Every structure is written in C-alpha cells, then in structure tokens.
Amino acid sequence: MSKKLAIYAVQQELSKGREINEPNPKLRNEFQRDRDRIIHSSAFRRLVYKTQVFVNHEGDLYRTRLTHSLEVSQIARTIASSLQLNEPLIEAITLAHDLGHTPFGHAGQDELNKCMKDFGGFEHNLQSLRVVEHLENRYVEFNGLNLMYETREGILKHCSKKNAKRLGGLGERFLKKYQPSLEAQIADIADAITYNHHDIDDGFRAGLLTSKQLREVRLFGRFNSDVKEKYPHASERQLVHETLRRMVDFVINDLILNTSHIISNIQPKNINEIRNQKHYIAQLTDKTKQEHYELKKFLREHLYKHKTVQKMTDRAKIMVKFLFSNYMTNKDKKINEFHHNFDQLDESDKARVIADYIAGMTDRFAISEYNRLVQ
Ligand code: MG
C-alpha cells in the first residue's frame, strides 16, 4: 500500500486472519490475495449474466451485477483512499458483496426466500458469505475461498438475529450491536450511492424515467439546473450524465468530509474504538442523507415498480418458484450433479442445496432450465 494507513484502519498485522492458516503471500498482502481469489472465483464470473435491475438480455448497455460491483468498488476505493483506509480490503469486500445474488435481481431473491420459508429462508447477503465460505469449490485444503475475517465481516452487511446466532463470531455484532470496520461501513454506503445513481442512468436510457420526473428529486434538480445553464446546447442524454456525475461527486464528498469530521471528534486510537460505537462512523450529513433517501424512494416508486420492470419481475418469480418446486419434487440429474448425495439428505437440507443451486444460476441459465423442465 502506498499511503500510510490511519491508526483505526484494518491493519493486516492485527487481523483476525483466516479460518485455515496459510503461508503468507509473497507478492501481495493478505487482502490483495482475498481480492484476487474473489476475482478468480466462478461466482464472480457469473455476475456478468445476472440482473441488476434490467434482465441481462434486455440490452447490452444496462448494468449487470458485475458492472455494478465494479462501480461500487471504484467509488469505495476512492473514499477509502482519501480516508487512509485499507484499499485492498475495501476492494475485496465490494467485489464480493453481491456474489450471493440470485438470477433476476431482487425479484429472484424475494421468491427464493418465499420458497425457503419453512427451511430457514434465503438472504442474499448471507448467501454471499456462504459462497465465499462454502460453495466455491476449487481449493484442496479448504472449502470456499478461506478469506480473511475482515473481508467476510464486510460481506455480511445485514443479518437477521436468528441467522446471526448460528454464525458464531461473524454474527456476534448483530446480536451485541457493535460496528464493523470502517472499511465495511464505507463499502455498505458506497453500494447505495452507486445503485442510486446508476439506476437513474439505466432507467433514463430505457426510457422509463424522464428528465422532467427526475427534476422533482431535489438532488437531481439542483445539479440539473446548473448543467443546463452551463451547457445550453447539450443533448438530454449528456445533461443527465453531467448531472449524475456531479451528484455522485457531491454525495461522495459529503460522506468523506462528514466522516472525517466525526472521526476528528471521536479521535479513535484503534479499530476497537470504531467497533464500539453505537452507530456507523461513516455517515452522510443529515441533509444529504435525506436527499439521498429521497432519491432511493423515487427509484422505488418510479423505476422498480414501473410496469415494464414489474412485468419482468413477475415472470422471474414464476420461473424461480417453478424451478424450486420442480427440483424438490422431481428427481433431476442436474441436482445430483450439483450435490452428489442429494438423495440421502433430509427435506430441509435438500431445500438448502436447491436454494444454493438456484442462487448460483445466471439469468440465462435459469431461463434455459425453466424451458427444459416446464414442458
Ligand atoms: Mg450491491
């Protein structure tokens, strides 16, 4: 790392390390090794064919889970660098944060959660952790990727109390209410900043959101007036882009300045003093938080609930539900290939294997499986 780390950043020397001890890497530090393992995982490659908001085959220019993850990573690294935090760690967390996402975005995850209602439910966040701890199967000496504790901590952004109890060490903070590292906090907020902005871009490109509608959102309206005045001859598309880049810049700067301010008030002397806070130290100012929330609400009402998106969502739910019940009730060789002693498992374990299998599917594989099995 080129820059000196802040004393409250995650330091490799003080890390809680890996579940299975390994020799130190020679050319990289431990968190760079985590990042590289994530990039080389098959779950990471599959992100390219998974929906963010628009189903993957609907257009080549929309964000996919992969490009979303890259954008989150880029934004989070900028913030980490200016706060002197551990950049390779934040890169690893952000690149892995959506590995557990089902095909078809949130619709897929909601439906899979319903299917798993009697078998412990399905949370995509927990599934991302499950991918890096269990499901990736490439190394002889361990299951999963054997990542550093702090990387896994950052991947697990949310967790229900019930699941936290089962998780042991990593779940503890959700029960005892302490905070994750500042790197994990930044990764979490960077995710929201990223999707709030790129979903506007994609929604506008798809013709589902108009500039007129967008101007009702305070944050957008303010910067849009500025760019219209500055570039009276620019196209609508350019104006939206110029507006969005100013918005992102503004929100990121607000987060950096406000977080620095909070840090200078608290004067944390080590990472434990970050963990022992009641709330995240990484915070937007109240005003920007409010405006950012307004943006999120706008997207929920006008984009995620838009009838075009909803139509796709409804179809996705039908497919996920069908696949789940079909694998549960009919013997299918694909499931036996995925899990070799599937037939010997009890019902609940079978359901979990099926959830793992479906969650790992790309959009197009889920569609082809549906088409294969539906006749
Ligand atoms: Mg995300």
User: CATH second-level architecture of 27-308?
Assistant: Orthogonal Bundle (1.10)
How many whole angstroms from 16 Cα to the centroid of ligand 1?
Answer: 25
Question: Which residue type, as a one-letter code, is found at position 130?
Answer: R
**High-pLDDT (> 90) share of the chain, %:** 84
Cα torsion through 314, 316, 318, 320, rounded to 10: -150
What pLDDT is stored for residue 58 in this prediction? Answer: 67
How many whole angstroms from 317 Cα to the centroid of ligand 1?
Answer: 20
Tokens of 343: 């037939």
Mean pLDDT of 17-23: 95
How many whole angstroms from 231 Cα to the centroid of ligand 1?
Answer: 33
Tokens of 362: 């790309």
How many whole angstroms from 345 Cα to the centroid of ligand 1?
Answer: 33
What pLDDT is stored for residue 57 in this prediction? Answer: 64
What pLDDT is stored for residue 168 in this prediction? Answer: 83
How many whole angstroms from 20 Cα to the centroid of ligand 1?
Answer: 28
Phi first, then psi: what are they for 64, rounded to 5°? -110, 175
Mean pLDDT of 10-17: 94
pLDDT tops 60 at residue 2: no
How many whole angstroms from 68 Cα to the centroid of ligand 1?
Answer: 7
**Entry pTM:** 0.95
Mean pLDDT of 201-228: 94
How many whole angstroms from 69 Cα to the centroid of ligand 1?
Answer: 6
Mean pLDDT of 52-78: 85
Q: Which residues surround ligand 1, an ion (CB under 5 A)?
A: 98, 191
Instruction: List the domain boundaries for the chain.
Output: 27-308
Give the model's confidence band at 1: pLDDT under 50 very low, under 70 low, under 90 confident, else very high.
Answer: very low
How many whole angstroms from 201 Cα to the centroid of ligand 1?
Answer: 16
- Confirm if 94 and 73 have CB atoms less than 8 A apart: yes
How many whole angstroms from 145 Cα to the centroid of ligand 1?
Answer: 20
Q: Which residues contact residue 180 at a Cβ distance below 8 angstroms, ignoring those fewer than 6 apart?
A: 153, 154, 173, 275
Mean pLDDT of 164-186: 93
> Residue with structure tokens 């990042």?
35
Over residues 141-165, the pLDDT tens digits come to 999 999 999 999 999 998 888 889 9
- Confirm if 104 and 363 have CB atoms less than 8 A apart: yes
Among 34-43, 161-170, 176-185, 340-349, the range scoring the smallest mean pLDDT is: 161-170
Over residues 88-123, the pLDDT tens digits come to 999 999 999 999 999 998 899 999 999 999 999 999
How many whole angstroms from 241 Cα to the centroid of ligand 1?
Answer: 21
What pLDDT is stored for residue 162 in this prediction? Answer: 87
How many whole angstroms from 244 Cα to the centroid of ligand 1?
Answer: 18
How many whole angstroms from 166 Cα to the centroid of ligand 1?
Answer: 24
Mean pLDDT of 260-274: 96
How many whole angstroms from 237 Cα to the centroid of ligand 1?
Answer: 25
How many whole angstroms from 375 Cα to the centroid of ligand 1?
Answer: 35
Over residues 320-352, the pLDDT tens digits come to 999 999 999 988 888 989 998 999 999 999 999
In angstroms, the Cα distances linking 312 to 51, 55, 68, 126, 306 are 11, 7, 19, 25, 10
Which residue, among 183, 167, 4, has the nearest Cα to 94 in the 3D structure? 183
pLDDT tops 60 at residue 288: yes
How many whole angstroms from 64 Cα to the centroid of ligand 1?
Answer: 10
pLDDT tops 90 at residue 54: no
- The mean pLDDT of the chain is 93
